[in-house]
């Protein structure tokens, strides 16, 4: 039996991408929490795996040629797992190129823009005194997130999944749609996307991956009072260490 993959994880959209993929692919794994609200991502042992001090990351004891391998960046992780298992990555090079385009679209567009939208709409007021800066940021990133929802909605016209068949492109984007309300999005404006979101979300493996470590969210940014304030200082006041 294969040794379990070590998943360095916190229950956020980027973490959910990997837990969902692992569940869908049927790979054994062990979840190792990385509490990003208390600064565990800056510990030397974790930085040796993820030098950008961000989770998720994995260590696969049975990597290429049977040797262990560590991987950071969610897109690189999902591409690796898809190649390792031969699942959710199409059948031809043309398929893989199409999937890779949407993986990169999520990594370079949907994730960062939605993340900035969350920052300005949910957290900025606690760390930025100038309300004009908050308003500009909130409007700028909400509008861009709305545009990206439109891109995905158009792509899903006549398709059940982003690239026709279920792929890692779906696992990449679905978690960033989960918090659509906090992004200031009205999901009914995007009927194709909404149908896809519900279709993917109804899958048993997706639900299992999504619920991984749900109890951990009671701390950090989900806490209240001083605990939440300290978590925000860690996340939003980061400098190289």
Give one DSSP letter per residue of 96-164, joined into a string: HHHHHHHHHHIIIIIHHHHHHHHIIIIIGGGT---HHHHHHHHHHHHHHHHHHHHHHHHHTTT-SSTBS
> Which domains, and CATH codes, for the chain?
5-87+209-236 (3.40.30.10), 93-202 (1.20.1050.10)
Q: What is the pLDDT of residues 180-230, one digit of tens each?
A: 999 999 999 999 999 999 999 999 999 999 999 999 987 555 555 555 555
At residue 201's C-alpha, the angle toward residues 146 and 95, to 5°, is: 75
How does pLDDT run across 41-73, given as a tens digit for each residue? Answer: 999 999 999 999 999 999 999 999 999 999 999
Give whole-number Cα distances, 67 to 70, 81, 120, 178, 234, in Å: 10, 15, 43, 36, 35
In this prediction, residue 24 carries a pLDDT of 98
The torsion defined by the Cα of 69, 73, 79 and 81, in degrees rounded to 10, comes to 50
Q: What is the pLDDT of residue 240?
A: 44
- Measured at the CA of 32, the angle between CA 26 and CA 35, to 5 degrees, comes to 130
Q: How long is the chain?
A: 241
pLDDT digits (tens, 9 = 90+) for 137-191: 999 999 999 999 999 999 999 999 999 999 999 999 999 999 999 999 999 999 9
For residues 12 and 170, what is the distance between their CA atoms, to the nearest angstrom? 16
Contact (Cβ atoms closer than 8 angstroms) between residue 38 and residue 231: yes
CA–CA distance, 10 with 37 (Å, rounded to integer): 10
Summarised one tens digit per residue, pLDDT across range 65-106 is 999 999 999 999 999 999 999 999 999 999 999 999 999 999
Cα angle vertex 110, ends 106, 112, to 5°?
Answer: 100
């Amino acid at each position: 039996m294969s040794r379990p993959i070590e998943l360095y994880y916190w229950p956020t959209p980027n973490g959910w991408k990997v837990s969902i993929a692992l569940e869908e692919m049927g790979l054994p794994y062990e979840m190792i929490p990385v509490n990003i609200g208390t600064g565990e991502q800056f510990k030397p042992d974790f930085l040796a795996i993820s030098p950008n001090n961000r989770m998720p990351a994995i260590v696969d004891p049975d990597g290429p040629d049977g040797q262990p391998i560590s991987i950071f960046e969610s897109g690189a992780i999902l591409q690796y797992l898809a190649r390792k298992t031969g699942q959710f990555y199409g059948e031809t090079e043309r398929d893989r190129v199409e999937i890779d385009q949407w993986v990169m679209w999520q990594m370079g567009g949907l994730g960062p823009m939605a993340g900035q939208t969350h920052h300005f709409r949910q957290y900025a007021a606690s760390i930025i005194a100038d309300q004009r800066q908050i308003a500009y940021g909130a409007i700028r990133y909400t509008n861009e997130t709305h545009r990206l929802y439109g891109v995905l909605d158009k792509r899903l016209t006549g398709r059940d999944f982003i690239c026709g068949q279920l792929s890692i492109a779906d696992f990449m984007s679905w978690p960033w749609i989960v918090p659509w309300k906090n992004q200031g999005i009205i999901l009914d404006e995007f009927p194709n996307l909404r149908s896809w979101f519900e279709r993917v979300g109804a899958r048993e493996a997706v639900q299992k991956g999504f619920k991984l470590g749900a109890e951990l969210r009671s701390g950090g940014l989900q806490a209240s009072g001083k605990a939440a304030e300290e978590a925000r200082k860690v996340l939003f006041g980061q400098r190289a260490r």
